[in-house]
Amino acid sequence: MSDLTDTVLARVSPKSLPTYRPGILLLAKEHGHRLLEEVRLPDLERLRDQTRYEVGLRKVEMARQRGRLLRSYDPDSYGRGAAENCVRALRFYFRYAVAAGHLTINPALDLTAPRRATAPERPLREHELVDIWRGALDGSADPELDALLLQFLRETAARREGCLNLCIDHLDLTNCLVTLTEKGGDTRELPLSRKLLTRLQAFAVSRGANRPGDAVFRYQRGTPLTRRRFNVIFDRVDRNCRWTEPLDVGAHWIRHTTLADIAAVADIRVAATYAGHSPDELGVIGRYTKVTFDDLVAAYERLFGPRD
């Protein structure tokens, strides 16, 4: 069974590899000495539960050692995401094993992920946004980058992936819009002020972006931003605003805030389109009513003012 591990890992997409690798390696560690057909569903469920417990325990222990605040200090409150990734990895592994002819019955077919906990995320109040901005910039080694990134998040409700994928040619100063690429490569256009677009373009050029496909958000040394920057920003927020730490406030909270504001000044259909959600997610109403770019512009300008 261990002979299959490297082959399966090579089949995982680069984006999924960081989340799938731990589960596949755990399977190899615990059951690599066995034949594939000897592994049963209960074996996989134990791996899932082991992953959840160990991640939850580690999170609580590290928080206590470092003096960090948590909403709960019960390890069972955590680890669901890691367990879900483990389930996905195991399903991938055995799906490949069946497709490649190594197995006829897939033991991971009925392997379920743990129920997700209710997310604490909610729209932020105005004074909380002000506090987060202050906390993010106080002590920042690159306040120009952090301020611009936060403003972009606020006005676009972008996911982190949308910020990282943003390139020079996605900034349309003529039509005052930005093109975002996020989940699964889905792309959408959103209104944005000429002022912010100009700031983004000037920032990118000042840090070495000169070709159409060059990333906008870049470190001072000129290299494109990584996901790590979001952790750095919100770790600093936690140090400066202690109320954010037990809530685990991050970039997605700003997304929630902007989408709630869009829904308040327009409606849920406009907010869903702004978020990049499929119309089918709204049921019949979403399928039979069309949100136009002008609807997005009207909502944007009610929140953030004229674009031009």
Sketch out the chain's domains with CATH numbers: 2-99 (no CATH), 126-304 (1.10.443.10)
Q: Which residues of the chain have pLDDT under 70?
A: 1-2, 279-289
Compute the residue count for the chain: 308
pLDDT, position 120: 79
pLDDT, position 105: 93
Question: Residue 83: which of 48, 107, 45 has the closest Cα?
Answer: 48
pLDDT, position 108: 96
Asked whether the beta carbons of 206 and 220 are under 8 A apart, the reply is no
Pairwise CA distance, residues 103 & 95, whole Å: 9
Beta strands 171-172 and 187-191 are unpaired
Asked whether the beta carbons of 296 and 267 are under 8 A apart, the reply is no
DSSP conformational letter for 248: T
Asked whether the beta carbons of 46 and 87 are under 8 A apart, the reply is no
Give whole-number Cα distances, 197 to 151, 194, 203, 223, in Å: 11, 5, 10, 20
Pairwise CA distance, residues 77 & 60, whole Å: 10
Please report, in angstroms and rounded to a whole number, the separation of the first and last CA atoms in the chain.
62
pLDDT, position 286: 60
pLDDT, position 217: 98
Please report, as a single letter, which amino acid is at residue 66.
R
